[in-house]
Amino acid sequence: MTMDSTFLDGPAVPGQEPAVQRICARVAGPGVHVASLPLGGVQVWLDDPGHRWRHYHRMARELRLAGWHTETGPDRLLLLGWSAVCLSHRVRMLGAALTGRLADFDRTAFTAVMVATRLRHEGFPAADLPGEVEAHCAEDLRWPARLADLDGLERCSSLEPLRLRLAQVAGLEAKVGRRCAEHLALASKVARMVAGGAGPARTHAAGEAGPPARARAAGPRAGLTERMVCVSVPNVAESAVTAR
């Protein structure tokens, strides 16, 4: 067994099993089972033996990205605790997302235009268009699902190096969450424009980052979005479309 020097840190923490279940189910689909290990950590196994090895490696990759040390066996996956190496990897990946995909608002606008236009041509209800386009863009961004997987997980450690890493991760996740909210707000705006203004504006729950400073600073991108929508949508009033 290979391990970094500070990965094992006592029994499972509150919320660990549900978080692992969500991550593994997102990767491998239904039929995922999660149970605690006697001395800490959890074990994961699948009902379906088909493609088991591939699923275990995909689940292990996502669990390591969350910051855990994993070991893959012939019939199950073991999660043994926080890993300083894996947490450092998460820090790098969060930083890369902020400077890479999550900095590219034009791509989100383009994707939203394409998806919304296709759905409208297929007769998708205009009122439901913003939510559907948001869901598609959230899947494209990947990080909204990854952050949601860890909801309710108490991330703490008795080891100082791990506490510092966990605090660093929490700060970057907050930035990524706010940036994702900006992307999804943009996608919703584009979808409403494609639908001819149908559907309510996207609202944010208390404590959630609203259409923040970056969204206001992204004025030129909004102009580009509007131009793409104008090109993609026929110049016909929605009432006329409805009448047809």
Residues 122 and 75 in one domain: no
Which residues neighbour 220 within 8 Å (Cβ) at sequence distance 6 or greater? Answer: none
- How many other C-beta atoms are found inside a 10 Å radius of the C-beta of residue 72? 13
Assigned domain for 145 exists? yes
pLDDT attached to residue 13: 72
What confidence tens digit (pLDDT) does each residue in 145-202 have? 999 999 989 888 888 889 999 999 999 999 999 999 999 999 999 999 988 864 445 5
Residues 125 and 208 in one domain: yes
Residue that terminates a domain, selected from 64, 82, 100 = 82
pTM score of the predicted model:
0.78
What confidence tens digit (pLDDT) does each residue in 209-232 have? 444 444 444 444 445 555 555 555
Assigned domain for 7 exists? no
Residue 237 has pLDDT above 90, yes or no: no
Residues 229 and 170 in one domain: yes
| DSSP reduced 3-state for 35 | strand
Residues 118 and 177 in one domain: yes
Residues 124 and 76 in one domain: no
> CATH number, domain at 66?
3.30.70
30 lies in which domain range? 16-82
Which residues neighbour 62 within 8 Å (Cβ) at sequence distance 6 or greater? Answer: 23, 24, 26, 27, 146
What confidence tens digit (pLDDT) does each residue in 14-68 have? 789 999 999 999 998 888 999 988 877 899 999 876 778 888 999 999 999 999 9
Q: Residue 36 pairs with which residues in a beta bridge?
A: 42
- pLDDT band for position 6 (cuts 50, 70, 90): very low
Which letter, b or e, does each residue of 33-50 get, where b requires 16 or more Cβ atoms within 10 Å of its Cβ?
ebeeeeebbbbbbbeeee
Q: At what angle do helices 160-194 and 84-99 cross, to 10 degrees?
A: 30
